[in-house]
Amino acid sequence: MFAIEAIGISKSYRFKKQEVKALHDINLQILQSELFGLIGPDGSGKTSLIRILNTLLLADSGTGSVDGLDIVKDFEAIRRRVGYMPGRFSLYTDLTVEENLQFFASVFNTTIKENYSLIKSIYQQIEPFKHRRAGQLSGGMKQKLALSCALIHRPSVLFLDEPTTGVDAVSRKEFWDMLKELQANEITILVSTPYMDEAAICDRVALIQDGSLFKVDKPTQIVDDFTPKLFGIRTKEMFRLIEDLKSWNSVHSCFAFGDSCHVIFKDLNNEVAACKTYLMAKQHQDIEIFQIKAGIEDCFMYLMKKSA
Amino acid sequence: MRTVLFIIQKEFSQFFREKTNIRMLLVMPVIQLILLPLAANYEVRNIQICIVDHDHSGYVRELTHKIAASPYFKLNSYLDSYKDGLERMEHDEVDIVLEIPPDFEKTLIRENEAALSASVNAVNGQRASLGAQYLLAILRDFNREIRLKWVQFPKFNPVPIIQIDHSFWYNPMMNYKHFMVPGILVILLTMVGANMSALNLVREKELGTIEQINVSPIKKYHFIIGKLIPFWIMGQVVLTLGLLIARLIYGIVPLGSIFSIYLFSSAYLLCILGLGLLISTFANTQQQAMLISFFVMMVFILLSGLYTSIDSMPQWAQWVTKINPIAYFVQVMRLVIMKGSGIKDILPHLASILLMAGIIIPWAIWHYRKRS
């Protein structure tokens, strides 16, 4: 049995009398206590898919199950055993940290005490502020509180919609560590994120773009499957370099990446020399070209470009 | 059932967290109840009158004194030309111009009758009609005095005369406060209740907290009822406060039993809070909820019979008042407070309100969607 399963889910919205396809024939299987990442740019359909799976939204067609329960028929049972953390902070800002936790515990007919062990390591970090109103917490603390509230009824499946958007790098790292810890408690976690670097932490990831999934695999496998040769190029004028590379028809794709440009060439023999000549003709100085090993982000950029 | 209790507890702690909320709930109605009845005064006073006198006789002087002595009129000016008087009316300095023709006294004595002309500024209709009536009353009185002086009545009246004397029942002094204050209290209760409940649920939508509620196993009716009860209690507090003010400041002591007022308000609050919640299931932002509730309440208040009598409304408007909860409560308040009606007398009203609540609340529960 899969913890989460989606079979042919489609959803479209009507916007100004125009049909906008948000999801197109999504098929997905997520295993028990897997940390599964849903990676895609803004507007790719991540939130719609999560909302359909946690019974907040009805799909136009297709079926699915969470914990073996049908997402349409058994929505009440599903709601009792899933935790959901929406992308936007959605706890009561005028209630204190403790009151929020208390309220959501009681909503699920449980108490903080009963499941304290599960949230302990997370909640302890914000416990010193438990009499503070949730609205007055910092971004990172808000997120910890939201996670605590989503976990207070010991859900078997946890949906996290872009939990790390707008959070600083340190808190992001901490947050992913917490998710890793939760896995040990046999909780299946579906987390969506626009940040590709976070994919490497997940057990498996799905790439979503324009409402379609086009790659579901282990992050390491995705990197291993990457066949094209990847080059890093650096010159004195980085901005002009990108422009020039993009306008060169021998370049398949080119992305700025830190202090260099990651480039994949179309079938070109002796790429390094050819590229050097081209760039010299464009009057670039201090040209450095070197082959590099692809990271997960390079794979995504490449795959996304290919599918688009 | 436990869930409802937790929601109620949550609502109360949210409400009392903000000091402004408490102030709004307690201070606002008090101030309004003190100020509004003073402003919603139906007696017209200080009518500015201008007398244009072409006669300059003793009678005119007497008449002028009589008018000036009345509490309703203020003698604005005493002129020679009608044109000047009209000009003052155009400048809105004068409400009535009373023109007395030349030889008024002489004609009156010689021919037993004389004509006067009164021009009334009708921009403010109520002021005009009441002013003209007051003036007519004074002239009638004046006329009678002259007749007494001049005409020797026979011992028995040759023509039978029907004389009508009237007295006002249930409000012998025709104290307008006695019927305005209970009505205004109803309006206050309605505004506070409908707005609070309409804004509350939409606020959860705006803040996104409704998402967390929707994904939880809370039942729809638990949620709506949990929202309803706190405001129901606060509504009763406002009503109690209002009745206290009516008693302490205006000396209005309900003739009927307080219990019947509370019995009715219990049903009424369910209806009006349900309406607020229904509005909030339709609105997406607090602004929308505010405007919709303002619009609905405006129509209901104007058609409630508080300011204008329902009996003099056109037929269609009278039909609208049948589905207007405010109209029922205004009536019941007046019945119980002024007439001393008992529970038996307000039963039909109570039944109508309960019926409305019985439609509105399930509608709100039905229309509130936990998933889209």
For B107, the domain range is 47-150
Residue B43 has pLDDT above 80, yes or no: no
Judge if B18 and B114 occupy the same domain: no
Q: Which residues of B touch A108 (CB under 8 A)?
A: 216-217
DSSP labels for A25-60? EEEEEE-TT-EEEEE--TTSSHHHHHHHHTTSS--S
A4-218: CATH architecture: 3-Layer(aba) Sandwich (3.40)
Distance CA B265, CA B232 (A): 9
**Cβ separation of A104 and B214 shorter than 8 Å?**
no
Six-digit token string for B76: 């604005």
Q: What is the mean pLDDT of residues B66-92?
A: 90
Q: Please name the residue ranges forming H helices in A131-208.
A: 139-151, 169-183
B94 lies in the same domain as B74: yes
**Cα–Cα distance between B245 and B251 in angstroms, integer?**
8
Average of pLDDT values for A58-79? 92
Mean pLDDT of chain A: 89
Determine the pLDDT at residue A244: 86
- Residue B254 shares a structural domain with residue B107: no
DSSP state of B337: I
Classify domain A230-307 at the CATH class level: alpha beta
**Do B21 and B64 have their domain in common?**
no
Which of A79, A86, A92 lies nearest to residue B217, judging by beta carbons? Answer: A79
Which residue in B209, B218, B222, B223 has the most chain A C-beta atoms within 10 A of its own C-beta, making it the best mutation to test that interface? B209
Domain map (residue ranges) of chain A: 4-218, 230-307
d(CA A215, CA A304): 10
Same-domain status, B210 and B144: no
Closest by CA position to A251, among listed A200, A305, A297, A215? A305
Mean pLDDT along residues B112-134: 87
User: CATH code at B59?
Assistant: 3.40.1710.10
Please tell me whether residues B110 and B225 are part of one structural domain: no
What pLDDT sits at residue B204? 92
Who's near A89: CB < 8 A, 6+ residues apart?
Answer: A142, A143, A146, B208
A114-151 residue pLDDT tens: 999 999 989 999 999 999 999 999 888 899 999 999 99
What is the distance in angstroms between the Cα of B4 and the nearest Cα belonging to chain A?
A: 9
| Residues of chain A with C-beta less than 8 angstroms from the C-beta of B18 | 94
Tokens coding B358: 């019985």
Q: B321 and B266 in one domain?
A: yes
Which residue carries 């009745």 as its tokens?
Answer: B243
Does residue B18 belong to the interface with chain A, where contact is any CB pair within 8 Å? yes
User: What's the domain count of chain B?
Assistant: 2
Residue A108, C-beta contacts closer than 8 angstroms, at least 6 positions apart: A80, A152, A153, B216, B217
What residues contact residue A141 under an 8 Å CB cut-off, 6+ apart?
A125, A126, A129
Residue that terminates a domain, selected from B150, B167, B199: B150
The CA distance from A127 to A145, in Å, is 9
Contact B18 A94 (CB under 8 A): yes
User: Do the Cβ atoms of B216 and A108 come within 8 Å?
Assistant: yes
Q: What are the tokens at A195? A: 């940040």
Answer whether residue A308 shows pLDDT above 80: no
Domain assignment present for B126: yes
pLDDT in tens, A26-48: 999 999 989 999 998 888 899 99
Which chain A positions have a beta carbon within 8 Å of B211's beta carbon?
A: 56, 84, 86, 90
Separation between Cα atoms, residue B167 and residue B172, nearest integer Å: 7
In this prediction, residue B152 has a pLDDT band, given cuts at 50, 70 and 90, of: low
Same domain, B206 and B328: yes
